[in-house]
Structures are given as structure tokens and as C-alpha cells.
Amino acid sequence: MTTVLSTEWDSVRQRARLSSQAAGTGVPLERPTALERAELLGRLRWEVIQGGSLFLVYPQLLDGAVFAGLRPAELLDELTIRAIDGGAALPLRVNARGADLAGQLIAMLSTGFVFSSLPVPDDQCLRLQQELSARADHRAAAELLMAEGPAGAADRLLAATGVLDAPLRRRTVARWRDWLEAAERGLLQVSSLVPADYPAAYALCPPPRPEALASDSGRAALASWIGGEYDRNGLPNRSLLYESLDPLLYSGDGAERADAQLLRESFDETYYRAIAVSEGCALGLASPRRGLRRREAAVLPASTRVVLFPTRFELRLGLMTAAAWQRYTDDVADALTSWWQHRDLTALQDVGDLLAARTKEPASGGEDEVSVTRLQQLVRQASGVTAQVVAGGGMSAATGVLGGGTPGAFAAGAGGALAPMLVAAVTAGVNHLSSFRGRYDVIELP
């Protein structure tokens, strides 16, 4: 199996996604709507199908607005697959210093961490950060943890700031308690932090070139990034970069805003790629620069290996009841195992065919341009160089993926092209993309 680390669950992105559902308030919903929850659950289920398990960095779980609205007890029924260890645990792994998730939470609360999952305005999140930072005392926090346990310590540390009202503080601590208890009971795996491999990440995908930026301020920020001005303890620090880019992001100059967004996206990809390399994960880049229009997709079969899935398959997956999901994954267990272990496209097609047979197409929003998920599988060559293949087939900015048997000629920087492997979501029964004029969801896979 290939564990998937997805940028979809970046904590800042989780906040933005649930904020967009909250009538323009900029504050994330505490509980997603039924449709939003189905979309989120469908994405999680699709990622489990892709690799068999998911890897989260601790801020994605402990400070994720999506995971704040999901309960581990519910997910145990809704996300597990009995073909994986009998479905006794969630297919999730999260990292934490010393493999101690409770200790990691208290460390976040005692170091001035910016919590983006809270259903309060941005300025209140920043005020909480300032108050936590002003009270930062590692020794006192450790003693509090020993005396009152993680939930009690978290409640005391939050209460001392006076920033959150008591009901919200209690709800926040309660959802942390749920995840910490799930970890204690072995319902999700907790692994130790591993240093991110930034040299490999930069080798695979360097920062933008100065000529790619449109403003002097953007080029200056790029120079600061490359020059190490945003490093902390010898490693690039995303918070420092974000803080430096905020004036550009909210500038009245469109070129500066565009540069800030480009630099943030580039740094985010570098940040997660460095973690994926060090953790041995496939990297899911969930928000590419553009989708693929159906007229472009129609010409892909000549050069691309294609697997057909039913339209809007993520939402179809998310709308399944827990019982229907278990029946479905039981019935495709052999196909999933063959896909995970051998990357057998015929087996993956069987997974899609049964999904089409078991579900109906959800109502469409009528959009012609759809999203693309790029999944990068990063592997070490015999020489120790992390390699990546550049995808061809007309997918601009798309990257290819590597399997263990990829020829050394495709090592990083060696050039060449490999047609991307796609899952194209079309109506059931269509055998060729060129014969279908409907809507496509196109997913790259390893």
C-alpha cells in the first residue's frame, strides 16, 4: 500500500474551505452542512482507495477545521475498510514529536501556535496566538499536563488567555479529547516526527524563477526565501513566509497579490513535498493551477492510459451510508488489494465499475471545467537521489509519478516524458473518452 499525504488537508485550506460555506463571514463552520460533509467524506474515501491509508501532519488533524467537525467514532464506521486489518482502526497515521499526540497539542498551546480551525475571525485567532505566546512556559505546561491530563491542561491554557468564550473553549477541548482518546485506544496510528527532506523537495521542484514574478516586491520576497531569511533552526518556516507575504496578499496592486499567491502555493508544495519524501508517502496535490476542459480530455486516449470512473465519483462515495461503504469495499476487496500491491489498472477499473453500478449520479452544478488531483509517488533510486518523472500528454504543469521499477533514466533532472495515468470520470458504459461529450473529472494516479 502507498500512504497518501494530501495538501487538501492543509489547515489553512481547511479553514478557507469551510469559511466559504459560511455566508461570507470568513469564519469556518463548526459542523459542515450535509452536502459539504458528503464531499469531504468522499474525498477521504477516495484517498483511502488511492493508497490504502492517509498520512496527516499534526496541524492538519489537531488544527484542521474539517477534522474539528468530524468525529473519530463516526469515521470508524464510515472510512474503514475491512480488508485492512479487519477495519479495526482508522486508515490514518499522524505524526507528533516523540509519537506523543497529547504532548504535541500542549506544545502547540505553549508556543504561540496560530490556530486556524477556530470558528472565530482571523483577528481573534491572531489575538489568541499573541496571548499564548506571551504566556509561553514549557516547564509549567509540562507540569500542567502531568497534573491535569491533556484535556484539562488545554482548557486551562486556553482559559488563561481570555480570548475564547467558555462554550467555544469547551467545545474545542472536547473535539481535541475525542482525537486524543482515539489515538490512545489505537484507532489511529501516531508516529514520531521525521525531519522534512527540503534538499530533495527543492531538487524535485525548485522555487519560482524571478522572471515568473510580476512585481519588485514579489521578487524581493523570493530572494528572502531563497536566501534563508524565512528559516528557523536551519529549516524554512511557513509562518514566517506567510507573515512576510501578508502585505502583498492584501495589496492594492494586482501584480503583488498574484505574486504573493504564487509564492504561497509554491512554498506549500515544497513544504508538503519535503514531508512526503521523508515519510515515504505519495503526495496528493489537491489544488492544481487549472482543471482540464472536456474538449482537452477528449484527445487524451491516443497517448494516455485511462481508467473510467462514474461522473462525480468523490461525491458518490461520500453519499454512501456507512453500511453501503462497507458492502462496497467488501465486494471490491480483491481488486483494491491488487491495485494497492501491484498498481493493476484492470483492478482499479473494477473498483470504478462497481461504484457506477451501486450509485446514481448526483445533481451536477453544470460546470465545464473541473479539478484535477495530482498524486506524486516519490521514491529513492539506488544512488539515493529522489526521482520524479515529468508527465506528457498535454497536461501542463502536471507531474508524473514513479513506481519502484521506474528506469533510472527518469531520475530527477534527466528529462524525458511519461504519459500520465488518468482516472476519467464519465458515465458508466462509455469505453472511450472521445465518444463521450459530457463532463469529466480527471485524476492522475501512480
Looking at the structure of the chain, the number of domains it has is 3
Alpha carbons 325 and 144: distance in angstroms, whole number: 42
User: Cα–Cα distances in Å, from 7 out to 265, 269, 273, 300?
Assistant: 10, 8, 9, 26
pLDDT at residue number 23:
63
Alpha carbons 257 and 245: distance in angstroms, whole number: 9
pLDDT at 301 exceeding the cut of 90? no
Task: Quick: pLDDT tens for 350-368.
Answer: 998 899 889 987 775 544 4
* End position of a domain, from candidates 170, 192, 214: 192
Task: Quick: pLDDT tens for 73-128.
Answer: 999 999 999 988 898 999 999 999 999 999 999 999 998 899 999 999 999 999 99
**Is the domain of 17 the same as that of 137?**
yes
* End position of a domain, from candidates 273, 308, 330: 273
Domain assignment present for 116:
yes
Alpha carbons 52 and 235: distance in angstroms, whole number: 31
Mean pLDDT of 140-153: 95
pLDDT at 384 exceeding the cut of 60? no
**Is the domain of 217 the same as that of 121?**
no
Nearest to 81 by CA among 281, 384, 320: 320
**Is the domain of 159 the same as that of 84?**
yes
Q: Are 73 and 174 in contact (CB under 8 A)?
A: no
Q: Is 166 helix (H, G, I), strand (E, B) or coil?
A: helix
**Is the domain of 263 the same as that of 320?**
no
> Residue 198 phi/psi, 5° resolution?
-65, -40
Angle between helices 101-109 and 138-161 (to 10 degrees): 70
**Is the domain of 181 the same as that of 311?**
no
Domain assignment present for 278:
no
> Residue 189 phi/psi, 5° resolution?
-90, 140
* End position of a domain, from candidates 192, 209, 226: 192
Question: Which range among 154-168, 228-242, 326-340, 358-372 shows the weakest confidence by mean pLDDT?
Answer: 358-372
What average pLDDT does the chain have? 79
Output the nine-digit C-alpha cell for 328.
462496497
Nearest to 37 by CA among 60, 69, 15, 14: 69
232 sits in which H/E element = strand 231-232
Mean pLDDT of 266-271: 90
Domain assignment present for 279:
no
Q: Are 5 and 281 in contact (CB under 8 A)?
A: yes
Domain assignment present for 286:
no
Tell me which residue range forms the domain holding 390: 294-445
**Is the domain of 227 the same as that of 166?**
no
pLDDT at residue number 307:
67
Nearest to 115 by CA among 145, 158, 150, 151: 158
In the chain, the percentage of residues whose pLDDT exceeds 90 is 52
**Is the domain of 177 the same as that of 213?**
no
Task: Quick: pLDDT tens for 385-397.
Answer: 332 322 222 222 2
User: Residue written as cell 481508467?
Assistant: 307
Q: Are 123 and 25 in contact (CB under 8 A)?
A: no
Q: What end-to-end distance do the CA atoms of the chain give, in Å?
A: 12
**Is the domain of 164 the same as that of 256?**
no
